[in-house]
Amino acid sequence: MTQSRVHVGGADPYDVVIGTGVLGELAGMLGQRVRTVAVVHAEGLPEIARPVCGALEQAGYDVHPIPVPDGEAAKETGVLAGLWSRFARLGMTRSDAVVGVGGGATTDLAGFAAASWLRGVRSVLVPTTLLGMVDAAVGGKTGINIPEGKNLVGAFHPPAGVLCELTTLITVPRQDYISGLAEVVKAGFIADPKILELVEDDPEGAARPDGPHTRELIERAVQVKADVVSSDLKEAGLREILNYGHTLAHAIEKAEDYRFRHGHAVAIGMVYAAELARLAGRLPQDVVDRHRSILTSVGLPTSYSGEAWPELRATMTIDKKSRGSTLRFVVLDALAEPGRLEGPDEDLLTAAYREVSR
């Protein structure tokens, strides 16, 4: 049993436990006041939800597994309303809790259900994908999608804890694992270049869950996010750097009706942001080239359809980082030196997209 902890500070501090055999931490995170626990899990993961429920039952909780659709199909208002109704039938009170088990979409949904039920109940998240571990489950952001855009409805609701059981990664499909790697690489570009070095030294190993540096890559990515959200939970300033590449990425996901993998979209979005910074005279060519080489080396895309630009540009207008009609992008001024680009000229936006078009 090997475990490490990353502490997330702030008004509601909690730990992210990373390793094997971490389910023993569940009861300690939920506490003694909790009686009823709703285990919200992706319906395709009964074999992973089962030991979670078992650990809770052994600790004496009244456990109720609730399956929800896999992937982004979980993050819909109808699914959320169904959870509320189930919580009501279970008689869940403010001293009860929600445990979310699954990928990023499942933990986003479970977290928002916990945030909105009785104005907020305790939650523990058990992410089972790389993307969930390094991004969605850490930081207290919860939310669902609506037809107009991704994550436009949600709340900041820090969990009582996050358990990253590394053995679950073995069951993740290869392309889904590689998708999650985009968020790891993002952490390297915005804050921790050692991540980039580890990927460059062994890209083939980085792209699989049993690689020699898997644990360190996850720990470093989680630490980057923890450092940021500890000082800025509600995205008042610093936390925006975690959205590097996400402005275009969310537009691509919407254009693809959320059937496009999040990490694949983020990879394209990062290259776009790098080209935007280069054309604005803020980032040297070699850092832009490094984006492409690292992302390509692990099997992530770096380009998208040129014909999609008008639709993508229209969607970016309602990005969460926008203020009024002013677009705001997270860009790099140098490696691990993120900044902001506000209200860029339309010609600059179009020229940067031309660099990622195919």
Binding-site annotation: residue ranges for Zn(2+)? 183, 246, 262
Active site annotation includes 246: yes
**Catalytic residue of the set 41, 262, 278, 291:** 262
Q: How far apart are CA 194 and CA 346, in angstroms?
A: 35
Q: How far apart are CA 327 and CA 324, in angstroms?
A: 8
Active site annotation includes 239: yes
Structural contact between residues 120 and 157, judged by C-beta atoms closer than 8 angstroms: yes
Residue 180 φ/ψ, nearest 5 degrees: -65, -25
Active site annotation includes 119: yes
Active site annotation includes 151: no
DSSP 16: E
Structure tokens at 98: 């929600």
**Catalytic residue of the set 246, 264, 290, 328:** 246
Active site annotation includes 291: no
**Catalytic residue of the set 76, 165, 183, 253:** 183
Sequence ranges of the binding site:
70-75, 104-108, 128-129, 141, 150, 168-171, 183, 246, 262
Sequence ranges of the binding site for NAD(+):
70-75, 104-108, 128-129, 141, 150, 168-171
**Catalytic residue of the set 64, 186, 225, 261:** 225
DSSP-assigned states of every residue in 96-134: -EEEEEESHHHHHHHHHHHHHGGG--EEEEEE-SHHIII
Q: Give start and end residues of each alpha helix (H) in the chain.
A: 26-30, 46-58, 77-90, 104-116, 130-131, 174-190, 193-201, 203-206, 214-231, 246-255, 262-279, 285-297, 309-316, 346-356
**Catalytic residue of the set 43, 200, 216, 235:** 235
**Catalytic residue of the set 119, 259, 323, 358:** 119
| Residue 57 amino acid letter | E
Identify which of 301, 297, 279 has the alpha carbon closest to the alpha carbon of residue 288: 279
Active site annotation includes 313: no
**Catalytic residue of the set 250, 264, 278, 291:** 250
Active site annotation includes 219: no
**Catalytic residue of the set 25, 157, 219, 243:** 243
In the chain, what is the greatest distance between 2 CA atoms, to the nearest angstrom?
62
Active site annotation includes 262: yes
Structure tokens at 52: 């979670």
Active site annotation includes 141: yes
- Catalytic positions are 119, 141, 183, 225, 235, 239, 243, 246, 250, 262
